[in-house]
Structure 1
Amino acid sequence: MEIEQEMSIFVKSLKEKGLLDQIHITVCNVGSRKLSSGDDYGAGAWNVFAPNLTIYGFDADADACEAAEAELKLKHINWTEKHIPLALGKSVEEATLYVTKHPMCSSLYPPNEAYIGRFYDLPELSNLDFTIEIETTTLDTFCNAEEINTIDFLQIDVQGAELQVLEGSLEILKRGVLGIQVEVEFSHLYVNQPLFADIDVFLRGHDFTLFYLETAFRHRSCSPIASTQRRGQLLWGDAYYLQDPIRENANFQIKEPSKILKLACIADVLGFSDYTLELLEYLTVKYGDNPKYNFAQTIIEILSSFSDLVESGLDSLPVVANIRPFLNI
C-alpha cells in the first residue's frame, strides 16, 4: 500500500517530544549562492533543527557571500550560519575560474560552448564571459583549520567540479558524513569535466547509496518541435546519496545510535520517510531500553495519522509488531 504524504513527517513530532535536543546537525553547502528559497537552508526544512543547526556556505564569489552574511544579520537567526568566500577543490593550488554570462554557471572547467549551443536557452547562461585566476583549497583543509570534526550533510553544486570537491573531502567523509546532495552532469557541458558515472563510482566506493535523481532536460535549439512524451536530452540533475548503517560491514563511524538518529532525521527532511521509519524502528528494537532511542510511541502516532493504515489495521503491520514491546518502557 502506498500512502501519499508530505516531504517530512517525523522530525516535527520528534522535536515536539524533545527527542531532537540530543543532536546537532551540521550542513555544508558548497556553491552556496542563494538563487531561490530552496537555497536558503536555514529558513527551509532544515530549520526544524534550530537552534541545534550549523550551516557552512562556500562560494568563490565573495560578493555573494557578503550578501548572504548581510541578509543573515537582518534576520536575527537562532541557528549558526556562515558564508565563506572560498573556492573548494581537490587541493590547495592556483586555478582558473571560468566566469559565465550568468555567474551561477561559473566553473573550474571551461564551458563546452560548441555543445552548449545546440540546446535551447543554455548559451545565454553558460557561455564564457571572462576568466580570473584564483586559489582553491579543500574542505578538509578548512575543517582542520577551524577544528570542525563532523559534517552531517554535504551539498555540492559547483558546475562540473563536484568530484574535485569530494576528492578534497576524504578526511571529513571518513568521519561520518551521512548524506550528500550533489549536482551531476550526464554530458560534457564543461570541457573534460567528470560525469555522473565518475561521481557515482567515487561515492559508492565510500559506502554511499544512491537514493534519488532529480533530472533536468533540454531540447535542441534548432528544432521548432518537441515531443510531448520526452522532454529532450537528459543533461544534468541532483543526485541524493545516503549512508546505510544497517548493512553488513557498515563503517563503525555511522553505527553509533546518535549518528543513526541524525541520518533518520536527514532522510525525513529529504523526503525519504520510509527510510526514516526503518531507521527509527531499528533504533527502537536495538536500543529502545534507553528512552533517548525509544521511538515506539512516535512511530505509532505517525502511522495512526494515516486513515487508510488505521482502517486496514495497524496491528497487521510488521513494524508495529516489532516495536510494540517498547511502548510501555
Structure 2
Amino acid sequence: MTPLLDLKSDGRSLADIILAPVLDAGIMPTVVDVGARNGMWTFPESYTRHACLIGFEPNPVEFEKLNAGRSDAEIYLASRGQARPVFKKEVYHPYALWDREEQRPLYITKGAGAATLMGDVHPKMKDHFQVHEGGASTRSVYDTHYQIESTEALACRTLDSLIPVGDKIDFLKLDVEGAEMRVLAGAAELLRRRAVLFVETEFQTFAYYAEHPLLGHQHAFLADRGFRLLDLQLNHARQRRGRSTLPAHNDRVPMAAGDAYLCLDPDNEPALQPLDLHRVAALSLALGFASWGLSLLRQAGLLAEQQISNIENEIRMRPLGRRRQLVNLWNAVPFAVDRMTARLRK
C-alpha cells in the first residue's frame, strides 16, 4: 500500500509539497534513533531524502553491521526485494544514551535485540515466560533472548549534550530495553524547551529488570512535558506463562510489549509555533494519522487552503488495499450484528 507521503498532487509527492515550507526555512528534519541496530524503516523515502538520521547503537557487533548497511533487517528484507529508505544524511554513534555521562557495563544477550544497561532480568522471566509460537509455547524467553552472554564497558552520553542548542528533533525513537526513562531524563533540556516534537517509545507491560519503568511512567512523564498520546502499536510478540500446547484461537495470550506514539500537544499552552506545528503535521501524515495531520496543517497556515484540500482529496482516493478492506469489513461485523439484534428486539 502506497505510503501517504508518496501520493502525488499536481505531479509532486505529498512529502515534497508538505516539507517545502520547512526546507525553505533552511531546516533539515532530524530523526534520532536510539537503539538503532536494525536501521530506521518508519518513514518513506519521499520523507527521508530530505531528512537527517542520527542513530545510536551500543552493541559493537550490531553497530558494525549497521554502519556497513548490513543490519539483520536489511539483509532479511533485501531478500524479499525491500530496501531501507535512505536519508539525506546519516550518522551512527557506538555509544548508549543515558541520564548522565559515565562508563557503564552493557549486557550483551543471546538475542541481539535485548542487549541492555539494566542488568539481568528477574528470575520470573527465567522460570515462567515462554515464546508464543502459534499454538505451542515450548521455548523459554530467557533462554532464547535475555540470557546474558558477555558484558562490554560502554561510554554513555546524554541527548542534551549531543544536540546543539537551537536545533530540534522532529522524531525521537526509543528502543532501549527498559532504559527509556533514563534516556528521557538525559534529554531534560531538550524537552524543557520543546525541542522534541514527536516520540515513538517501546514499553513493557510488566517489570522484569530491578529498575524498569512501564508505559504509565513514560506516558505521565511526557504528558507533564506537553505531549499527547496518539496511539499504541501492539504487534510485539506475546508471551505465555509456562509451557502450553493450546491453539492460539483458544487462548487470549497476554501482551508483553508495544510502542507508544506521542507528539507535542497542539492544544497545550504555550502554543506551538507554526513551523513546529507543520513539522508535527508532516510526521503525523507519514505515520498515517491523516485527519490529525491535516488539522495541524490548517492550524499552521503555511500552505494555501487549496493545497491542503488537494492533499486531503488525494488521501481520500487512496486505495486501502484488499487486506485492509477485508480487515475493516471483518471488524464491522460485530457492530452490524449488534444493530440487527437490537432491531429484532424492538
> The TM-score by the shorter chain falls in which range?
0.7 to 0.9
Partner of residue 171, structure 1: 189
Q: Which residue of 2 aligns with 1:110?
A: 119
Q: What secondary structure does 2:90 align onto? A: strand
Distance verdict in 2 for CA 1:210–1:229, change over 3 Å? farther
Q: Which runs of 5+ in 2 are unaligned?
A: 71-83, 132-140, 319-346
* Pick aligned residue for 2:256 from 235, 256, 262: 235
Question: 1:182 and 2:192 equivalent?
Answer: no
In the TM superposition, what whole-angstrom CA distance separates every residue of 1:178-228 from its partner, at most 9, and x where no partner exists?
A: 100001111123232111111111111111111111123212232222552
1:187–1:300 distance in 2 versus 1, CA, 3 Å: same
Which whole-Å CA distance do the structure 1 matches of 2:173 and 2:14 have between them? 24
**Secondary structure of the structure 1 residue equivalent to 2:163:** helix
Tell me what 1:98 maps to: 107
Matches within 5 A, 1:1-329: 8=4, 13-17=13-17, 20=20, 21-22=23-24, 23-34=27-38, 39-41=39-41, 45-71=43-69, 79-117=88-126, 118-121=128-131, 122-123=141-142, 124-144=144-164, 149-173=167-191, 174-215=193-234, 216=236, 217-225=238-246, 228=249, 230-245=251-266, 247-250=267-270, 252=271, 255-283=272-300, 287=301, 292-300=302-310, 302-303=312-313, 306=316
SS in 2 for 1:178: strand
| CA RMSD after TM alignment | 2.9
The number of residue pairs the alignment matches comes to 284
SS in 1 for 2:257: strand
Contact 2:44 / 2:85 at 8 angstroms: preserved in 1?
A: no
Distance 1:189 1:209 in 2: 27
Instruction: State which drifts further: 80-89 or 231-240.
Output: 231-240
CA distance in 2, matches of 1:141, 1:307: 45
Distance 1:96 1:305, change over 3 A: closer
**C-alpha displacement of 1:94:** 2.5
Amino acid in structure 2 at the alignment position of 1:160:
G
Secondary structure of the corresponding residue to residue 130 of structure 2: coil
Contact kept? 2:7, 2:315, Cα under 8 Å: no
TM-score calculated relative to the size of structure 2: 0.73
Gaps of 5+ in 1: 309-329
The amino acid across from 1:225 in the alignment is: L
Name the CA distance, whole Å, in 1 between partners of 2:6 and 2:299: 15
Give the AA of the match of 1:240. Y
Distance 1:262 1:187, change over 3 A: same
8 Å CA contact 1:157–1:183 kept in 2: the answer is yes
Change (3 A) 1:7 1:273: farther
How far apart are 1:70 and its partner, in Å?
2.5
Give the share of equivalent positions with the same residue, in percent.
26
- Any idea what the Cα deviations from partners look like across 1:136-193, whole Å, max 9, x if unmatched? 111111224xx67211110010100011000001122224211000011111232321
Q: Provide the C-alpha distance between the structure 2 equivalents of 1:209 and 1:265, rounded to a whole number of angstroms.
A: 16
Q: Deviations over 1:67-104 (max 9, x none)?
A: 323229xx995610011111111111232222211121
2:29 counterpart letter in structure 1: I
Distance 1:65 1:132, change over 3 A: closer
Q: Does the CA-based 8 Å contact 1:90-1:168 persist in structure 2?
A: yes
State how far apart, in whole Å, the 1-side matches of 2:252 and 2:195 are.
Answer: 38
CA distance in 2, matches of 1:7, 1:203: 28
Distance in 2, Cα, partners of 1:234 & 1:293 = 42
Alpha-carbon separation, structure 2, partners of 1:301 and 1:100: 46
Q: 1:109 to 1:226 in 2, by over 3 A?
A: farther
Contact 1:90 1:166 in 2 (8 A): yes
Look up the SS of the partner of 1:166 in the other structure: helix
